[in-house]
Chains A and B, each alone.
Chain A
Amino acid sequence: MIELYVLLAAMIVAALVAIEIKDLLAAAVALGIVGFSVAIMFILLQAPDLAIVQVVVETLTVVFFAAVILRTTNSDTTIAGRFRHELIFPTVMYVTFGLVFLVLVGRALAGLPEFGNPTMLVAREYIALGLERTGAANVVAAVILDFRGYDTLGEATVLFTAVIGVLTLMRRAGRRELTSENRN
C-alpha cells in the first residue's frame, strides 16, 4: 500500500500548487494532476468502475476549465505578495472552523472501522443476492440501477438541472450587450 501514500502526498502537493500558482491555466492543470491521482487510487482501491469514470471526467474537467480560461483571462491579479486587510476576517474564520472541524472529524474517525476492514452490513446482502435477484454480474451496476434505482433517478435529475442551467446561462437571447448591438 506504499503507492497509496505516495499518491496521497502527490495529490496534496498538487492541490497546494493548484490554489497558489499565479497562472490560472497552470492551476487547472494542477487540478488535473489531483484528479488523475484520484483515478489511479481508485484502481488501487479495487474500484475499476470509479477509475474509468474518473479518468474521462477529469479529462473533460480540464477541457472545460481550459475553454473558460482561454476565452477570458489566465492571469490571476488577486494573488499579490502584499498583505491585505480584507483577508484577516476570512483567515480567522477559516482557522477557527478548521480546528473545530478537525476535532469533530477526529471523533468521527474514531468510530469508523480500521482502514481496510469495512463492516459491510448492507453490502453483504447486495453481494449475496445481486446476481440472483437482478441477473447482473457487476454488483455496482446492480446496486445503482436496481437496489437503489431512485438514487440514480435523482442524480439524473440533478444532471439534467445542471445542464439546463448551463444552457440557460450561456444562450444568446436575452444578453444585454447583444441587444444593444442589434439596436445600433
Chain B
Amino acid sequence: MRGMSPVVQVIARLLAGLLFLFGTYIVMHGHLTPGGGFAGGVLVAAAFILMSLAFGSVEHTERNSYTLSSVVESLGGVLFVCLALAGYVAVAYFFQNAATYGTGTPLKLISGGMILPANIAIGIKVGAGLFAVFLALGASRFVMKD
C-alpha cells in the first residue's frame, strides 16, 4: 500500500494523535459520560487506520502489526473474562461487581467498580480486532495477482 500525498500525511499526523486521545478519553469516561469501551475502541482503531491509510506500509511492518493486533485482541478478551472471574473467586458470582470492587465515589473517575477496567478491556479488544480486520481486508500483502 503506497502512502498518500504530503498534504494528507501532514493532516493525518495532526489528527491521528487527537483521535487516539479522544478514543482513550471516551473509554476512560464510559461510566460517567456517553461512550464506553465499544465507541472508544472503534475510535482508537480509526486512529491507527488513518495512519495506515495515509502513510502506507511495507510488508514486514504490516505482518508485525497484524500478528501484534490479533494477540492484543485476545489479551483484551482474556482481561475481560478475568475481571468477571474475580467476582466469582473473591465473592460468590461471575460478574459480581459492587461487592468485589466497591462502588467508589459517585460521579468521580474512580467509581463504578468493574465498569472502568471492563471498558478498558473491551476498548483494547474492539480496537485491536477492528485494526486487524482492516489490515486483513485492505493491506498490500494480500494484493491479488492477476
Using a CB–CB cutoff of 8 Å, the interface residues on chain A facing chain B are 48-49, 51-53, 56-57, 59-60, 63-64, 67-68, 71, 131-138, 140-142, 144-146, 149-150, 152-153, 156, 159-160, 163, 166-167, 169-172, 177-178, 181
Chain A facing B: main interface SS: helix
Contact in complex: A63, B114 (CB < 8 Å): no
Contact in complex: B26, A138 (CB < 8 Å): no
Contact in complex: B112, A142 (CB < 8 Å): yes
A residues near B119, Cβ cutoff 8 Å:
141, 145
* Closest beta carbon of chain B to A122's beta carbon, Å: 18
B residues near A67, Cβ cutoff 8 Å:
134, 137-138
Chain B facing A: main interface SS: helix
Contact in complex: B137, A153 (CB < 8 Å): no
* Closest beta carbon of chain A to B27's beta carbon, Å: 11
**Interchain CA distance A68-B138 in the complex, whole Å:** 7
Q: How many B residues are at the interface, by size bracket?
A: 35 or more
Q: Does B98 contact A (CB under 8 A)?
A: yes
A residues near B129, Cβ cutoff 8 Å:
159-160, 163
Contact in complex: B38, A135 (CB < 8 Å): no
Contact in complex: A135, B106 (CB < 8 Å): yes
Contact in complex: B34, A138 (CB < 8 Å): yes
B residues near A149, Cβ cutoff 8 Å:
84, 95, 97, 118
